[in-house]
Every structure is written in structure tokens, then in C-alpha cells.
């Protein structure tokens, strides 16, 4: 019974977000690439929502089913970088977008953590992600020129027991173009 209720709630929220009118015509579409192959796995459309946040509407394929950490990273660069003597795919994107310098990973609706902490990305059993997520602490113009990152694992919105929600390896990335 509870599983049915959750499925109905997710479907209702998804339908509601897909039929809303967004503030103005401010919208950006970002191509997301697999960091191992460099190939496109789809796109995410970002839209301001009534000056109250940003809606991320993914149309992605080829991901591992389940939930994935989903974040805005500081730099608009998805290339690999060296960290502690190891090559990190997507490492040039830097850390999570944190303009207030909180140095804390938190829930997407909190002002006490990284502004780049987004709701987890849900990938269905076929490897597709198409459910929109809402980030109430962001404005589209503040994240232009930054990277959107998808991580291998889920996100518990905490720095414990693993740092940065336990999202792990960076698997896909795209850069939000500047206007």
C-alpha cells in the first residue's frame, strides 16, 4: 500500500512540474556526456520557476538504475584533473557550488549547505532519467557557466558516514552555458 502511495505521489509531482508555467522564458538546455566515453547520454533542461528556484528536467539514457547524487559544481569544466596523484574524471569541475562558503553538504532546501546540492536523480530500471527535480535555493543566472554532475551512487545529504553524501565517482557531466 505504501509503495503504491509513493508511486502516485512521484507521478503527481512529475505531472505537476511538467505542466507548470515557468517565470519568463528563461530556460537553458545542457547536453550531458558520459565521463568515460565522452558520448552524450541526453540533455537536461533548466527553467526558472516563479522566481522560487530552478526545475531540472532530464531526458537521459544509459545510466545505472537507482538513485544518483546530482549537483552543481563550481567550475564549468567537465575534463579530468589530477587529485592526490590520481586522475579524477570530471575533476576540473571542482567541488560543489558553495558561494556562502558553508563547507557543508546538506539537503537542497537548506541555506546551511552547498547551494549546488540538488535532489537525487532517479534512474529507472531501463537506465532512463526523466523525472524533474526542483532546487528551491537556486536561480538560473547564478549557475550559468558551472557544471552539472551526476555521481555513481545515491546521496544521503550529509557528510557522514561518507563525505559529500556518499555519491562517489563522477559519471556524467555537462556545462551550463552563460547567456
* 3-class SS of residue 165: helix
Instruction: Report pLDDT for 12.
Output: 40
Q: Give the residue numbers spanning the domain of 132.
A: 22-175
pLDDT (0 to 100) of residue 162? 63
The answer to whether residue 96 is domain-embedded is: yes
Q: Give domain status of residue 13, yes or no.
A: no
Whole-angstrom distance, CA of residue 152 vs CA of residue 165: 12
Which stretches of the chain drop beneath a pLDDT of 70? 1-25, 105, 113, 158-166
Q: Could you tell me if residue 138 is inside a domain?
A: yes
Q: Which of 47, 53, 86, 57 is nearest to 170 (CA)?
A: 86
- The dihedral through the CA atoms of 116, 98, 28, 25 has a sign that is positive
CATH code for the domain in which residue 35 is found: 2.60.40.200
The residues facing 59 across adjacent strands are 43
pLDDT at 3: 43
Q: What pLDDT does residue 164 have?
A: 59
Q: 3 in the Ramachandran plot: left (φ > 0), alpha (ψ -120 to 50) or beta?
A: alpha
- Cβ atoms within 10 A of the Cβ of 63, count? 24
Is-contact 67 165, C-beta < 8 A? Answer: no
Residue 9 lies in a domain: no
Number of H helices, E strands in the chain: 2, 11
Cα separation of 99 and 67, whole Å?
26
User: Is residue 3 situated within a structural domain?
Assistant: no
Asked, for residue 163, whether it belongs to a domain, the answer is: yes
Provide the 10 A C-beta neighbour count for residue 17: 18
C-alpha cell at 13: 509531482
- Do the domain assignments include residue 153? yes
* Structural domain count, the chain: 1
* pLDDT, tens only, 67-94: 999 999 999 999 999 988 999 999 999 9
pLDDT of residue 148: 98
Amino acid at each position: 500500500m505504501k509503495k503504491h502511495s509513493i508511486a502516485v505521489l512521484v507521478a503527481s509531482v512529475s505531472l505537476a512540474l511538467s505542466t507548470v508555467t515557468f517565470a519568463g522564458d528563461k530556460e537553458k538546455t545542457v547536453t550531458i556526456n558520459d565521463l568515460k566515453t565522452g558520448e552524450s547520454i541526453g540533455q537536461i533542461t533548466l527553467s526558472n520557476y516563479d522566481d522560487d528556484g530552478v526545475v531540472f528536467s532530464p531526458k537521459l539514457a544509459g545510466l545505472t538504475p537507482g538513485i544518483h547524487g546530482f549537483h552543481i559544481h563550481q567550475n564549468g569544466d567537465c575534463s579530468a584533473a589530477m587529485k592526490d596523484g590520481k586522475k579524477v574524471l570530471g575533476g576540473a569541475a571542482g567541488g560543489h557550488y558553495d558561494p556562502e562558503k558553508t563547507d557543508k553538504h546538506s539537503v537542497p532546501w537548506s541555506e546551511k549547505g552547498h547551494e549546488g546540492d540538488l535532489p537525487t536523480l532517479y534512474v529507472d530500471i531501463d537506465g532512463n532519467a526523466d523525472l524533474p527535480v526542483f532546487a528551491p535555493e537556486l536561480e538560473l543566472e547564478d549557475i550559468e557557466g558551472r557544471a552539472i554532475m551526476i555521481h555513481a551512487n545515491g546521496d544521503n545529504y550529509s557528510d557522514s558516514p561518507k563525505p559529500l553524501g556518499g555519491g562517489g565517482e563522477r559519471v556524467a557531466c555537462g556545462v551550463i552555458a552563460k547567456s
